[in-house]
Structure 1
Amino acid sequence: MRTIIGAVFLSLDGVMQAPGGPEEDSSGGFGLGGWIWVHSDDITREMVRGYLLGPPYELLLGRRTYDIFAAYWPQVPPDNPIAARFNPTAKWVLSSRDLSPPWYNSQRLSSLEAVRELKASNGPDLLVQGSSTLYPQLLAAGLLDRLILQTFPVVLGRGKRLFGEGTPPGSYKLVSSVVSSTGVVMTTYEFTGQKPVVSFIS
């Protein structure tokens, strides 16, 4: 059984679209890309290195993120440590269409049931990067085990959100938290189950 881990850069109002640069994902007319770098410091960089360059993993991606990554990472020199991890590892893509452009060691998953079967198989953990439309589906199906969040002290007002339409109610256990020198709150949560509804009125 594999663990599915989502690692997300997040604004205070829950937006996760195009954290790295203006041209990363401008879909929907989003023009605020590139909002993480002014808040980067050694602590935030160390956390990213911890999950991107740490234990072995395979990537689980939505289609748009796959297209962005497939057009970028194969062109990056192999001495880049992230390219050295992303390019050879298996990439699993939830998509209704064939994968184009091709990216080495990429395979399409046609349904959430296929994701469930992959999760039940033997192999390294599955790391979700980007892929905002994938999260509500994984959450609704009870397939997401862990969330690694870096919440940045910015409000964007619009854009793709982590907990988008279709996200079911649920509860999570905080397993770690760190605050960077620039005010980025870095937290790791593990899914515990559906949150009960309790009235505080006796």
Structure 2
Amino acid sequence: MRKIIVGSFVSMDGVMQAPGGPTEDPTKGFKFGGWVTPYFDQEFGEEVDWLFSETFDLLLGRKTYEIFAAHWPYAEGSPNDGIAKLFKTIKKYVVSGSGEVDTSWAGSVLLGDIAEVKRLRQEDGPNLLTQGSTELVQALLANDLVDAMTIFTVPVVLGGGKKLFADGSAPHSYKLTRTRISSTGIMIGHYERDGEIKIGDTALDNPSAAEAARQERMKREG
């Protein structure tokens, strides 16, 4: 069985929209496209390389796939030549319910829905790595399909935009397996799935009258 690994750049308030440039995704009036780029540094590059160091296939939503397909096939000879060549050789799975996507980028495979992703995950093969793909990642989380996450948290608050997490994710604990802070303040965390949510209780053994009244009020307020 393959693992699904979510790779994501997020702001401190959880936004992941258009990290690389103003034209990536300006939908819904998003004005801060390119917010990650000023924070690129050596550590950032090394951690991206680490994320791409093991054999993988890409798993992308339609919009991110179209961004990649319009950029990476034409980026050989650029400063990111290594990534361009890597993406050229691997499979790119794109999930699109409408099927309205041009899959002419060599090695591209169209998946119609999450059910097809589930079947793909059960097969033998390289791990499946996401990049961007907000709606797809939220669907993966809701369907309990995420095995690991690498999250680059950038020290900026954007105030709005498409977010990594939405209500409805399957509850799970994750274990932090490795972390690093870059020279520009990016916090990079690598997480692996670690079972069910663990719960504790800090309440007094004998709640005060004020606490009992507060609990009754909470029940009434629902």
SS of 1:199 mapped into structure 2: coil
1:71, 1:101 within 8 Å by CA — same for their partners in 2?
Answer: no
Are 1:77 and 2:79 counterparts?
Answer: no
After superposition, what is the alpha-carbon deviation per residue over 1:69-102, rounded to whole angstroms, capped at 9, x for unaligned?
Answer: 1122222226711111112211111111222252
1:133, 1:164 within 8 Å by CA — same for their partners in 2?
Answer: no
1:2 match? 2
1:87 match? 88
Whose Rg is larger? Answer: 2
Unmatched runs of 5 consecutive residues or more in structure 2: 206-222
SS of 2:5 mapped into structure 1: strand
Are 1:59 and 2:58 counterparts?
Answer: yes
SS of 2:194 mapped into structure 1: strand
2:65, 2:94 within 8 Å by CA — same for their partners in 1?
Answer: yes
Counterparts of 1:1-202 in structure 2, within 5 Å, are 1-52=1-52, 54-77=53-76, 80-98=81-99, 99-100=101-102, 102-201=104-203, 202=205
After superposition, what is the alpha-carbon deviation per residue over 1:88-123, rounded to whole angstroms, capped at 9, x for unaligned?
Answer: 211111111222252211111112121111111111
2:143, 2:169 within 8 Å by CA — same for their partners in 1?
Answer: no
After superposition, what is the alpha-carbon deviation per residue over 1:47-70, rounded to whole angstroms, capped at 9, x for unaligned?
Answer: 011112x12110000111111111
* Aligned residue identity for 2:2: R
Name the CA distance, whole Å, in 2 between partners of 1:77 and 1:182: 27
Name the CA shift for 1:29/1:101 in 2 (closer, same or farther; >3 Å). farther
Name the CA distance, whole Å, in 1 between partners of 2:34 and 2:121: 32
How many residue pairs get aligned? The number is: 201
SS of 1:87 mapped into structure 2: helix
2:60, 2:92 within 8 Å by CA — same for their partners in 1?
Answer: yes
Runs of 4+ in 1 over 4 A off after TM superposition: none
Shift of the alpha carbon at 1:197?
A: 4.4
Unmatched runs of 5 consecutive residues or more in structure 1: none
* Aligned residue identity for 2:87: F
* Aligned residue identity for 2:88: N
CA RMSD in angstroms comes to 1.6
Identity %: 43
SS of 1:138 mapped into structure 2: helix
Higher helix proportion (structure 1 or 2): 2
1:67, 1:101 within 8 Å by CA — same for their partners in 2?
Answer: no
TM-score by length of structure 1 reads: 0.93
TM-score by length of structure 2 reads: 0.85
2:103, 2:110 within 8 Å by CA — same for their partners in 1?
Answer: no
Name the CA distance, whole Å, in 1 between partners of 2:177 and 2:20: 26
* Aligned residue identity for 1:72: H
2:18, 2:24 within 8 Å by CA — same for their partners in 1?
Answer: yes
